[in-house]
Amino acid sequence: DIVLTQSPATLSLSPGEKATLSCRASQSVGNFLAWYQQRPGQAPRLLVYDTSHRAVGIPARFSGSGSGTDFTLTISSLEPEDFAVYYCQQRRSWPPVTFGQGTKLEIK
């Protein structure tokens, strides 16, 4: 199974700052990596798929990059609604589809 390791576990930043979230795969997933946002009490929301493609309705401040085993989700300027938990997910080798353990983005 492909293991996805996200870092940091918790990221404390202020609104307006830039956030950089990392996801590392135990083996290459090509570009088959997605990112989801989950706010408290809500279902996950697709942000980015296939490394760098923003989903419909996702603001341009969210961007994804990387390839192979190392991926990054960048939020260029944090808005109050961006403070949430973020998960990466791979579909390169399955079953099983796997998720990272999550990065909690909290207000500093």
Partner 1 sequence: EVHLLESGGKVGQPGGSLKLSCAASGFTFSDYVMTWVRQAPGKGLEWVSSISNNGDRTYYEPSVKGRFTISRDNSNNTLYLQINSLRADDAAIYYCAKDFGSGNFVLVWDNWGQGVLVTVSS
Shortest Å distance, C-beta 95 to partner 1:
5
Q: Which is nearer to partner 1, 68 or 99 (CB)?
A: 99
The residue with tokens 């990596």 is 33
* Cα of 49 vs its chain's centroid, Å: 10
Shortest Å distance, C-beta 16 to partner 1:
28
Residue 59 to residue 12: CA distance in whole angstroms: 21
87 binds partner 1 (CB under 8 A): yes
Among residues 66, 75, 98, 105, the one that binds partner 1 under rule CB under 8 A: 98
Q: What are phi and psi of 43, to 5 degrees?
A: -75, 155
User: Cα dist. 105→26, 51, 61, 67, 76 in Å?
Assistant: 23, 20, 15, 23, 14
Going by C-alpha positions, the residue among 67, 79, 82, 85 that lies closest to residue 24 is 67
Number of neighbouring beta carbons within 10 Å of residue 10: 11
68 binds partner 1 (CB under 8 A): no
Kindly write out the interface string for residues 5-44 of this chain, putting x where it contacts partner 1 by CB under 8 A and - elsewhere. Answer: -----------------------------x-x-x----xx
Among residues 24, 45, 54, 61, the one that binds partner 1 under rule CB under 8 A: 45
Interface ranges with partner 1 (CB under 8 A): 34, 36, 38, 43-46, 49-50, 55-56, 87, 89, 91, 94-102
